[in-house]
Structure formats: C-alpha cells, structure tokens
C-alpha cells in the first residue's frame, strides 16, 4: 500500500531584511483535505474530512478510526486504498481514502463527534468524558518503562533530527515514538498535531504493534485532552510534550495512570501525572 508523498511546495515570497525587500523562493508545508470513507458489504459512508499534510495517508486513516473507537483492531481491516474516479478514466483521487472493512455492515457511528469536518489545528474532539473511554475498554495503565530524566530531556533533539519537512518549511507539527532506551521507533509530521499522532497510531496498528505498552510518545506542541485520549487508546503509558498540557489532559492522565510530561525544553520539564515512571536522579 504505497502512499502519496509531497509534504512541501515551492513558493515565491518577499523577505524584508536589512532595510530591503528581496524576492526569494521558499518551501511551504502543504495543507490539503483528506476525506476518509468506510466501506463494508457494498455500503459506503464518509466518516471524516481532515486538513492534513499529504503522506502516510493510510496510517492517518487507520489511526484516526482506531483512536476514535470506530475499529477495534487491525483484524477489522480488509484493505485501505485511494479512491478511483470512474468518471475520469480510473484516475486515482489522492485526497480520498477508502477504508474497506471485513464486517458485513458499517459500524454504528452515532457516537463519533464532529466526523464530517475536522480542522488540522484542532483535531477530533474525541468522546467526551471518562465513562465513554472506559466503555471503549480503556483501562488504567499499569507497568510501562521507567525513563531517566536526562533521557527525557534528550528526546526533543532526537525528534528534531527526524523532522525533514519541518527543517525545510518550519510549518509542521511532529510526533514520535521512542523505546525505553530513547531509540526513535517512528516519527510523523503534519500541519495538525492530532494528525501526526493518528499517523503514528496507524503505523503501529498496521504493523501489528498495538498496544504500545513499552514506548513513550513525544509531541512537538501542547498536550491536549485529544492527544492523551489517543495515547490511551493505543496503550501508550508515557506522553511528553514540548509545550503545556491542558487541565483536562492532566485530569485524564491521572485518572488512567498515564505519565504526562510538559514544558520539555532544554534540561527542564514538569511531570503532571505518573511521576513513578521517571527515575529519580542520583544523589550528588
């Protein structure tokens, strides 16, 4: 299942510097709509339209559907393909992904909020409330790796090294998975921070690696309720963010035993929940 790439685009800009306005070429992060469709036994339904950066589209669709509880696992999937426009000589529509299920009917989507249009900046609100998460089978997290403070502090630098599109455009969010020794397992970029996480969850789902019980997730922006919810759905016990968490994200993390790290900058960070997964520094 090959994915379309093309996360950046050249543009003419003018730069004001040293008192002069000069023309130059610049790279922009691409933002385009992606429609996600569900198919089962001849039935088809549009589930979401999200603004995203092209690339890893199949992972994005799979991760979104799993994180929102529409599918229970990889076994629910038959195949994921780009739609073909039969009116245009079979031309592939790279902004429409069709997720074909093995089920005999489409799942009940009445509980999926805001499923027709999703902004890249705000993502999907998810199912509000702790009871809804528990009803999906999200249990409090137990175990998981214990990370040294100096290892946690090193993660943002390792993520930046993996951000090829950000280096070219400066306009993308990123998310990455690391193992207990700080080795980068996978990284994804997107104009939407929620999309970047969905791409990672989709990667793990399609690779048969869920639940991700022995990894840490790092996001380049803030830690929102939606980010923590997606991590819980994937079984991720540690979430680190370069920026601040929201109050609801902290409450959710504490309720489900997830370790939440915020303001991860330089040698300093805050632990808002699950401090037991952070190894105390050795006494001087």
Kind and range of the H or E run holding 26: strand 20-29
The full DSSP string for 205-228 is: HHTT--S-TT-EEEESS-B-HHHH
* Long-range contacts, stretch 19-26, CB < 8 angstroms, 24+ apart: none
Alpha helices (H) in 129-284, listed in sequence order: 130-135, 149-161, 164-169, 193-206, 225-233, 247-255
Closest among 94, 119, 97 to 5, alpha carbons compared:
94
Which is catalytic among the residues 122, 125, 138, 240?
A: 122
d(CA 242, CA 261): 8
State how far Cα 195 lies from the chain centre. 4
The full DSSP string for 90-130 is: TEEEEEEEEEEESSSSPPP-TT-TT-S-B-TTT------SH
Asked about 122 being catalytic, the answer comes back as yes
Q: Residue 140 phi/psi, 5° resolution?
A: -55, 140
Q: Give the active site residues.
A: 122
């Amino acid at each position: 299942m090959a994915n379309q790439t093309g996360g950046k685009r050249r543009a003419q800009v003018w730069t004001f510097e040293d008192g002069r306005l000069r023309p130059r070429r610049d790279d922009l992060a691409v933002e385009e709509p992606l429609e996600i469709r569900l198919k089962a036994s001849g039935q088809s339904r549009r589930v979401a339209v999200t603004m995203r950066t092209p690339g890893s589209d199949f992972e994005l669709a799979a991760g979104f559907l799993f994180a929102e509880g529409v599918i229970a696992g990889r076994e629910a999937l038959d195949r994921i393909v780009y739609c073909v426009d039969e009116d245009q000589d079979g031309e592939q529509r790279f902004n429409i992904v069709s997720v074909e299920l093995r089920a005999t009917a489409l799942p009940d989507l009445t509980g999926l909020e805001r499923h027709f249009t999703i902004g890249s900046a705000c993502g999907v609100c998810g199912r509000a409330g702790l009871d809804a998460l528990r009803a999906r089978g999200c249990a409090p997290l137990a175990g998981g790796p214990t990370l040294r403070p100096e290892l946690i502090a090193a993660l943002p630098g390792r993520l930046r090294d993996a951000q090829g599109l950000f280096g070219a455009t400066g306009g993308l969010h990123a998310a990455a998975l690391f193992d207990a020794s700080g080795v980068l397992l996978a990284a994804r970029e997107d104009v939407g921070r929620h999309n970047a996480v969905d791409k990672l969850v989709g990667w793990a789902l399609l690779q048969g690696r869920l639940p991700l019980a022995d990894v840490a997730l790092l996001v380049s922006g803030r830690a929102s309720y939606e980010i923590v919810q997606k991590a819980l759905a994937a079984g991720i016990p540690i979430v680190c963010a370069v920026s601040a968490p929201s109050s609801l994200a902290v409450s959710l993390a504490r309720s489900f035993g997830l370790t939440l790290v915020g303001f991860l900058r330089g040698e300093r960070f805050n632990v808002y929940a699950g401090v037991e997964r952070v190894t105390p520094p050795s006494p001087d």
